Amino acid sequence: MTLRRLGLAIACWALLAAACGANADSPPARLPTDPGALPEFTLADYEHALGELRGTPVVVNVWASWCGPCREEAPLLAAAHRAYGDRVRFLGVDVIDERDSARAFMHRYGWTYPSVYDPTGAIRDGLGLLGQPVTLFYDADGELVDTWTGPLSQHALDTDLHEILTR
């Protein structure tokens, strides 16, 4: 089994386990309309947000302002978001970071899509992901199509965007 397939299997298991243990008493957090809001999200909030985005392909990028490879790929993500507009939803998950540093990072790289704040890395860890950056590509049905670990290349980003748009 390749590492990528193993990672996908672990991520699917983690999503299922978290869904079974979600607290039904607290209302799920909503994705912000203001990209700089950076609300704190739990794994359950993240899963709820993905469910609300069904019907549109989604790119989720797990990042941190202190992460060198995240800075490397940040301009590619900003350009892709501008190019694809409403055809693809972009969402960032800022992990183990300081909010002010994260907001400065988003501003510096021109990110106009929302990110959520995961101060302990619980979302990343709950998905079975190791480190950052990691980018998840979901098709319009909410199916995880690919998980890219490490900084994105233009080719990888273009390939996976094409894949989630044509499924």
As a whole number of angstroms, the distance between CA 17 and CA 27 comes to 19
Whole-number percent of the chain with pLDDT over 90: 78
> Could you count the other beta carbons within 10 Å of the beta carbon of residue 98?
14
What is the per-residue pLDDT across 97-108, written as a single tens digit (0 to 9) for each? 999 999 999 999
Residue 22: give its domain's CATH number.
3.40.30.10
pTM of the model as a whole: 0.84
Task: Quote the pLDDT of residue 17.
Answer: 42
Stretch 38-43: mean pLDDT? 97
**Amino acid identity, position 95:** V
Strand locations in 17-142 (E): 58-63, 89-95, 115-118, 134-138
What is the per-residue pLDDT across 23-39, written as a single tens digit (0 to 9) for each? 446 677 889 889 899 99
Domain count, the chain: 1
Q: Which domain does 11 fall in, by range? A: 3-166
CA-CA-CA-CA dihedral for 156, 37, 47, 118, to nearest 10: 80
What is the per-residue pLDDT across 113-137, written as a single tens digit (0 to 9) for each? 999 999 999 999 999 999 999 999 9
What is the per-residue pLDDT across 10-23, written as a single tens digit (0 to 9) for each? 444 444 444 444 44
Query: Vertex 115, ends 113 and 118: CA angle to 5°?
Result: 175
Instruction: Confirm if 81 and 90 have CB atoms less than 8 A apart.
Output: yes
What is the per-residue pLDDT across 45-86, written as a single tens digit (0 to 9) for each? 999 999 999 999 999 999 999 999 999 999 999 999 999 999
